[in-house]
């Protein structure tokens, strides 16, 4: 009897944890499970350029052979055939997934653990028939509402996901993000862009790193950020911090050219 009660208590706790969302609004819309953190499942084909990388990061298809990701997801610039990119599916176990081996890694020059958090992974052979995600080349789209997606943890300390999750997060200004109640000056204003709710509840998390943050531009989706860091996940007053793609767009473009496009 005691044993059953214990088992029931454990089950109840697990069910509660699985259905609880730190964001009350998300919980209301989301009777089943919380995702990314506080998001929902992406539809097949909704974000075709999303890439899962075997070291446990995300990425975005920039060209048929190049995946844009975070510098902190890779070791160093040079020949590298150790990474597998999975794409074309929301379900990583799907038999229709496309996989490619890397043949080269380009890490942002000057990356030393803070700032400059971008890198390219070159695929050994081009991916055909998969849309790419254009990058922002000016600050025109560095505000508003952004979409984030990834296979990372659906809560702080949670496990990696089989299905691609998505969420929307609002822009947070550098001044707000660097205020004493948030990151107190830790954010590199020129190079990084913050997004999230003051109340928390919706965010990217571990394993989403390197994946894109994007929004609608003049003609479709445009990448404005790369998942970089945050204090925990979805905590109040701790927005996600993203590499500001517009700031690095010239460097990204010339690196892409040097890597063969
Ligand atoms: N650095 C993390 C990774 O490697 C991503 C963290 C994003 N955190 C956040 N609170 N937005 O996957």
For ligand 1, whether the C-beta of 69 sits within 6 Å is no
Q: Which tens digit of pLDDT belongs to each residue from 45-61? A: 999 999 999 999 999 99
Q: Is the pLDDT of residue 15 over 70?
A: no
Instruction: Of 150, 160, 163, give the one whose Cα is nearest residue 240.
Output: 150
This prediction has a pTM of 0.87
Query: Residue 46 C-alpha to ligand 1 middle, in angstroms?
Result: 22
Indicate which atom in ligand 1 lies nearest the CA of residue 204.
11
72 is catalytic: yes
Q: What is the pLDDT of residue 35?
A: 58
* Segment 55-80, tens digit of pLDDT: 999 999 999 999 999 999 999 999 99
| pLDDT band at residue 14 using 50, 70 and 90 as cut-offs | very low
pLDDT of residue 9: 36
Ligand 1 centre distance from Cα of residue 239 (Å): 10
The 10s digit of each residue's pLDDT in 18-27 is 333 333 333 3
* Residue from 121, 142, 143, 117 nearest 60 by CA: 121
209 belongs to the catalytic site: yes
Q: Is the pLDDT of residue 5 over 70?
A: no
pLDDT in tens, 210-231: 999 999 999 999 999 999 999 9
Please determine, for residue 104, whether its predicted confidence score (pLDDT) is greater than 70.
yes
| Ligand 1 mean position, distance from CA 99 (Å) | 24
Pocket probe mutation, ligand 1, options 59, 229, 235, max atoms within 8 Å of Cβ: 229
Residue 143 per-residue DSSP state = S
Which protein residue's CA is at the shortest distance from atom 1 of ligand 1? 229
Any idea which residue has 């229709």 for tokens? 96
Radius of gyration of the chain (CA): 19
Q: Residue 217 in contact with residue 136, Cβ under 8 Å? A: yes
Tens of pLDDT, residues 117-155: 999 999 999 999 999 999 999 999 999 999 999 999 999
User: Which residue in 102, 116, 117, 228 is the catalytic one?
Assistant: 117
As a dihedral over the C-alpha atoms of residue 89, residue 95, residue 97, residue 99, rounded to 10 degrees, the angle is 160
Cα within 13 Å of Cα(53), Cβ side: 32
Residue 192 Cβ < 6 Å to ligand 1: no
- The CA-atom distances, in angstroms, between 103 and each of 65, 80, 116, 135, 222 are 10, 5, 22, 23, 26
Active site residue 63: no
Is the Cβ atom of 183 under 6 angstroms away from ligand 1? no
> Ligand 1 in contact with 240 (CB < 6 A)?
yes
């Amino acid at each position: 009897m005691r044993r059953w009660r214990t088992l029931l208590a454990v089950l109840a706790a697990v069910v509660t944890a699985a259905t609880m969302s730190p964001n009350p609004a998300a919980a209301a819309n989301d009777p089943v499970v919380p995702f990314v953190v506080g998001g929902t499942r992406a539809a097949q084909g909704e974000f075709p350029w999303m890439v899962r990388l075997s070291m446990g990061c995300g990425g975005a298809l920039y060209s048929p052979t190049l995946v844009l990701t975070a510098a902190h997801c890779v070791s160093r610039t040079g020949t590298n055939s150790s990474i597998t990119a999975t794409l074309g599916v929301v379900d990583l176990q799907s038999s229709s997934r496309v996989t490619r081996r890397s043949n080269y890694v380009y890490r942002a020059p000057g990356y030393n653990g803070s700032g400059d958090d971008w890198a390219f992974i070159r695929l050994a052979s081009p991916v055909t028939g998969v849309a790419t995600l254009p990058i922002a080349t000016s600050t025109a789209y560095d505000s508003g509402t952004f979409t984030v997606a990834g296979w990372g943890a659906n809560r702080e300390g949670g496990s990696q996901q089989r299905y691609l999750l998505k969420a929307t997060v609002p822009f947070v200004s550098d001044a707000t993000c660097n205020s004493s109640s948030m990151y107190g000056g830790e954010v590199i204003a020129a190079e990084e862009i913050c997004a999230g709710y003051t109340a928390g509840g919706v965010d990217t998390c571990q394993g989403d790193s390197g994946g894109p943050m994007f929004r609608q531009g003049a003609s479709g989706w445009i990448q404005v950020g790369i998942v970089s860091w945050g204090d925990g996940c979805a905590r109040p007053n701790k927005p996600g911090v993203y590499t500001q793609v517009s700031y690095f767009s010239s460097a990204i473009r010339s690196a892409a050219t040097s890597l063969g496009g």
